Amino acid sequence: MHHEALAEREVLMPTYRRWPIRITKGKGSFVWDDEGHRYLDYTSGIAVCNLGHVPDGVKEKLGEALEDLWHCSNLFQIPQQERLARILVKKSCADQAFFCNSGAEANEAAIKLARRYAQKIKNTGTNEIVTFAQSFHGRTLAALSATGQAKFHDGFEPLVPGFRMLPYNDEAALAEVANGRTCAVLLELVQGEGGVIAAEEQWVRTLYDLCRQNDILFMVDEVQTGIGRTGTLFAYEQYGIEPDVITVAKGLGSGFPIGAVLAKAEVAQAFVPGSHGSTFGGNPLAMTAGLATLEAFDRWNVLENVRENGRYLRAGLERLKEAFPETIREVRGKGMLLGIAVRRPPHEIIAAARRHRVLILSAGDDVVRILPPLTTTKDEIDLFLATMHQVFLGE
């Protein structure tokens, strides 16, 4: 067959179960397809477009940056990196940042940092990292090995050694953390892919205290929860703890690829020239996107909106649960990372919502995941709730 005649599915590897729509434009909480239909987008590109699509301010800053410099090797000083690092350090408990391009890369760097810190700074033989069942940390081989879901491992064995998985929110299992081989724990404070399961506060405190007592690094994967998604800039702030390492990505660039590892200075010193790097990490365009995103967050009082409208949305979802108890088991999550556990296949509900021009996601096998832009309004939430009411009625 001639190359030009190859269908899309024949030239692209079949790694995605694609929906039957082509999105060509986005603004705020809405996207449009190639036929001009408008959809309310409550996926936010899977928790990426936290300020909505093509946000004002970020758009202008990126446009200006395109005129100046697209790429610059990390052999040179990149002033935008220092500016963004300063803001992230000021807004978190961390002291230093390393920039990369994605959440998986951020977790990969955190894993390397934890091992190198144990071996080079503490001079111990510990190298195991404890992770938790239902977790999701990314698709690179080490991040995949850290992920506590067998379906993601299938066909990729042997996995990277040095990871131990424990049950999530299980107090008794924490006795196994400090076994003399553990150098770090890595966890999500709300498991996104795993079913929108929030960590219980007391369990986190116990785990945190265990790590402190046994000199084990406490690393939090905030790739999905970070940059305001749960109502604070980072989810860990709601647990009264100070992680040693925080990974972020998704929401930091308003859709531009970016990732970051934030760490306490004591831990960050394990990385020295040559021990880690990235060709595109911290490039001027990504840094501009990050800076403009965080500026807009402050300017628009986004966190306040997440807290107020997140409560409003959750109350609406609880009303839906009361109206449709035969379909909805439970409403879960924090801020605007919400899930509804359902008694029928989520993909049926998602497809029905899409026919009604509302976009939502799944999480795990029995959860519909709702990730509105953090800037969404009460009117948009009302539209969403009214649409979901029709969906659950089977209209």
Backbone angles phi, psi at 362, to 5 degrees: -110, 170
Residue range 7-33: mean pLDDT, rounded: 91
pLDDT in tens, 370-381: 999 999 999 999
Give the pLDDT confidence score for residue 364 in this predicted structure: 87
pLDDT tops 80 at residue 227: yes
Query: In whole angstroms, what is the distance from residue 113 CA to residue 99 CA?
Result: 13
Structural domains present in the chain: 3-55+301-393 (3.90.1150.10), 58-299 (3.40.640.10)
Give the pLDDT confidence score for residue 31 in this predicted structure: 98
Which residue's entry shows tokens 């402190």? 212
Residue range 303-325: mean pLDDT, rounded: 98
Residue range 190-209: mean pLDDT, rounded: 97
Give the pLDDT confidence score for residue 1 in this predicted structure: 45
Q: What percentage of the chain reaches a pLDDT higher than 70?
A: 97
pLDDT tops 60 at residue 106: yes
Give the pLDDT confidence score for residue 125 in this predicted structure: 87
Give the pLDDT confidence score for residue 7 in this predicted structure: 64
342 close to 329: Cβ distance less than 8 angstroms: yes
The three-state secondary structure class of 248 is strand
Give the pLDDT confidence score for residue 223 in this predicted structure: 98
pLDDT in tens, 30-67: 999 999 999 999 999 999 999 999 999 999 999 999 99
H or E segment at 350?
A: helix 346-355
Confidence of residue 9 (pLDDT cuts 50, 70, 90): low
pTM reported for the whole predicted model: 0.96
280 close to 71: Cβ distance less than 8 angstroms: yes
pLDDT tops 60 at residue 5: no
pLDDT tops 80 at residue 126: yes
Residue range 313-332: mean pLDDT, rounded: 97
Which residue's entry shows tokens 């080490």? 142
Residue range 331-344: mean pLDDT, rounded: 97
pLDDT tops 80 at residue 3: no
Please state, rounded to an integer, the average pLDDT across all residues of the chain. 96
Query: In whole angstroms, what is the distance from residue 88 CA to residue 261 CA?
Result: 10
